[in-house]
């Protein structure tokens, strides 16, 4: 995967995974838009250019590697990039395709 450092798996990996909240939605990778409930053809979930999953309510200790592990474990597709804003409690997981991102959201919310 994209994060080259996969060393350092710890026995508390389950705790780390549980700190990753499953509140996810599509974004264009540059900003989070208001009006998430809009049901129009321009909505992110209907737009094939959207391949990034926005994850909010992350615990302060969740880092890029832990978020990558959590989404990798879902097996939804190829993860291209993971970014975490630890001080703000959110992150982004970018997939290769819209379908993979959609699947990650479905799996993460079930």
**pLDDT tens by residue, 27-55:** 544 333 444 443 456 666 667 788 999 99
CATH number of the CATH domain containing 72: 3.30.70.330
Q: Tally the domains of the chain.
A: 1
| Among 2-16, 31-45, 83-97, the least confident range | 2-16
In degrees rounded to 5, what are phi and psi of residue 52? -110, 135
pTM of the model: 0.64
What is the C-alpha to C-alpha distance for residues 104 and 93, in angstroms, rounded to an integer? 10
Q: Is 5 contained in some domain? A: no
Q: Is 26 contained in some domain? A: yes
Domain that holds residue 78: 22-31+42-108
Whether residue 76 contacts residue 94, with contact meaning beta carbons closer than 8 Å, is answered with: no
60: helix, coil or strand?
coil
Tally the C-alpha atoms within 13 A of residue 71's C-alpha that lie toward its C-beta.
36
């Amino acid at each position: 995967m994209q994060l080259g450092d996969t060393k350092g798996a710890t026995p508390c990996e389950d705790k780390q995974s549980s700190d990753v909240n499953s509140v996810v939605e599509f974004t264009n990778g540059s900003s989070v838009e208001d009006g998430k409930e809009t049901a129009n053809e321009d909505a992110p979930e209907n737009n094939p250019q959207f391949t990034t999953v926005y994850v909010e309510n992350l615990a302060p200790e969740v880092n890029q590697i832990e978020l990558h592990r959590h989404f990798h474990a879902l097996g939804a597709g190829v993860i291209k990039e993971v970014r975490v804003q630890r001080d703000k409690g959110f992150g982004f997981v970018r997939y290769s395709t819209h379908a993979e991102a959609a699947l990650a959201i479905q799996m993460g919310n079930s």
